Structure 1
Amino acid sequence: MLRFLVRRSLGALVILVIVSMITYALFFAIPADPARLYCGKICTPENLALIRHDMGFDKSWPLQYWDWLSAIFTGGTYNNVTCSAPCFGYSFDKKELVGHILADRFPTTLSLTVGSAVIFLIFGIGTGMLAAHKQGKALDKIASSASLIVSSMQIYVAGPLALVALVYSTDLLAQPNYVPFTQDPVGWFTGLLVPWIVLSLIWTANYTRMTRSSMVEQLSEDFVRTARAKGMSGTSVFMRYAWRGAMGTIVTVFGIDLGVLLGGAIITETTFSLHGLGELAIHSFNDSDLSLLVGVTVVAATLIVFFNIIVDAAYALIDPRIRLA
């Protein structure tokens, strides 16, 4: 297990370096000059050259990338601001270190992800198990049809509709807003309830369909029929064999989904004006803020790679037939 984790961690570092290099290269392929944006309306060639030098844009992009990568391990100084390792650069647009900005925005995305994940796991897996248990009956048909309809919806459509129905017209729920949990637990819960409902609604439908199909497949396996032939009760077979066999698929998909959500639920945060990593990624791209854009991209990629490693390591615990070499 230790050898597996070390090998996968080294491979993850290579992946993150490649992702950051591609982000740098794509940024410089965009026909935009960030230095000119910061120079203002009255911009002389001398001022423009000075700004480019301060931002490091007078160097080639490979040299700029090397300076950024080196700062992660050795730290750096930007705009007379000292940045200790690990340093992700300096946002000249926000006049702040990228690491501080990411640390400030991450709790919002974390709260949005964890709350919605709890909801869609409970309802999605539970509904999928009931549908599989009642395969072919009315409950199964209703759950399958409803999940297909809901999964076809988009957050940018469901979000405004939920705001109108639950907030603006009826005042049933509070206006979406992020309040730190340590500051006001009740305000934290009520402010994120509408985004949780909308985000979890679509994901619940996806997990309902996935859980049902996985359970139905497991129930048709030979070992399940053998267990039934030996006289085991339907409930024991369903929970001990079919459910355990279906967990592999669910855990795999959830590990990827959780990493993606933690990396920034862009549409959800934009729809509900939540200041998380997803919204930050949009603004950093629109403002041509290279350091901030690379920082958000690397954080998102790190979370996705990390949860993939966790999922792979969990396989051996879920399914004894799998052993990590």
Structure 2
Amino acid sequence: MIRFLTQRLIFGAGVLLMLSAFVFFLFFVAPGDPARMIAGDKATESQLEQIRKNLGVDRPIIVQYGAFMQKALSGDLGFSYRNQQPVAPIIVRRIPITLSLVLGGALLWLSIGIPMGIMSARYAGGLRDRIGQAFILVGLSFPTFVLGMMSLYLLYFVPKQAGFTLFPPGGYKALTTQPLLWAWHLILPWTTLALTMAAVYARLTRGQMLDVMGEDYIRTARAKGLSERRVVWKHGLRAVLTPLVTQLGADIAMLLGGVIIIEQVYGLQGVGALAVQAVANQDRPIIIGVVLLGGVFIVISNIIVDLFYVLLDPRVR
């Protein structure tokens, strides 16, 4: 296990190194002058040269990349010229918002999608299966921003017009200060995220369960007199968990890099909103920091998924 984990960590470090090099060199050749962003349009050329020297952007790109990596390993991701602040604290302040949204939404979509998929597979061709497939079709067809706007209209705007507040329109409250207010502000974002993602997991669970329920060991379990519920949940679901864990790891890693649409709809100033602002402002240090953060989440999630494979599947052990 230690050797396995060490190999995965070395491979993940290599991936992050290649990602950092690609992103850094890509933004180095992009148009724009950080000295001009700091000094403004009225600065003289001598002033700009002095600022470039202070920032170190007048040095060769390899030297700049080496200095960047040396600082990054100590947690320093550079300096935002637009915000006049270090990049790392800016990103760290946004992570709890995105983390709260994604993890809460994941618990909700798993609790909806997996039982829905099992129900559809267990009663394939029947009324319950049709209901499940209708849910999957609707969830996959509706864009996230449409569900978000509908939720705001039906659950915030309409009650507000009637004189009472059912849910807040958006924003974020810290979990550590007011847990109930934290959850109240995130119910609509969680629901919007969960409805779209639950459809994906319901479809995946249904397809996998239909394949598994025809296997020989399932027929053997039934022949031994086990109840259908026990056959489904103990024997069938365990075989389905491996592809579900794979999908879950990829989805959570991707969403932790920024749930852009939902954060924009509900006014949540998370990592996704920060990425949008950085792209609009051409704030390269923040863009590089957000991309690297997304890479870190992907590497960590893949390592966790690999460890779950070992726990779930005896053949891997």
**How high is the TM-score relative to the length of structure 2?**
0.93
Change (3 A) 1:297 1:139: same
Question: What SS does structure 2 have at the residue aligned with 1:132?
Answer: helix
Q: 1:54 to 1:290 in 2, by over 3 A?
A: farther
Q: How many Å separate the matches in 2 of 1:62 and 1:290?
A: 17
- Does the CA-based 8 Å contact 2:37-2:82 persist in structure 1? no
Unaligned runs of 5+ residues in structure 1 are 74-84
Asked if 1:115 is matched to 2:101, the reply is no
Residue 41 of structure 1, CA deviation: 3.3
Q: Specify the alignment match of 1:219 in structure 2.
A: 213
**Paired residues of 1:228 and 1:237 also in contact (CA < 8 A):** yes
The residue aligned with 1:98 is: 87
SS in 2 for 1:135: coil
Count of residue pairs brought into register by the alignment: 312
The 8 Å contact of residues 213 and 236 in structure 2, kept in 1 or not, is answered as yes
1:76 is matched with none
What does 1:225-244 align with in structure 2 at a 5 Å threshold? 225-244=219-238
Equivalent in the alignment of 1:47:
47
Where does residue 4 of structure 2 map in the other structure?
A: 4
Residue 178 of structure 2: which of 151, 166, 184 is its match? 184
The answer to whether 1:199 aligns with 2:193 is: yes
For 2:310 and 2:88, the matched residues in 1 are separated by 36
Identity %: 35
Of the candidates 169, 178, 185, which is equivalent to residue 175 of structure 1? 169
Q: How far off is 1:236 after superposition?
A: 2.1
Provide the rounded CA distance (Å) in 1 between the counterparts of 2:54 and 2:18: 26
- 1:160 corresponds in structure 2 to 149
| Residue aligned with 2:177, SS | coil
Q: Mean alpha-carbon deviation: is it higher for 92-101 or for 5-14?
A: 92-101
- Gap regions ≥5 residues in structure 2: 161-165
Alignment of 1:1-325 (within 5 A): 1-73=1-73, 85-171=74-160, 172-323=166-317
Q: In structure 2, how many angstroms separate the alpha carbons of the residues matched to 1:150 and 1:318?
A: 29
In the aligned structure 2, how far is the partner of 1:286 from the partner of 1:51? 23
Corresponding residue SS for 2:71: helix
The alpha carbon displacement at 1:222 in A equals 2.0
Query: Aligned equivalents of 2:30 and 2:265: distance in 1?
Result: 26
Q: Does the 8 Å contact 1:55/1:92 carry over to 2?
A: no
Residues 124 and 208 in structure 1, CA contact (< 8 A), matched pair in contact too: yes
Equivalent residue, structure 2, for 1:78? none
Letter in 2 for 1:154: P
Counterparts of 1:292 and 1:226 in 2: how far apart (Å)? Answer: 57
Q: Which moved more, 1:164-173 or 1:183-192?
A: 164-173
Q: 1:155 to 1:29 in 2, by over 3 A?
A: farther
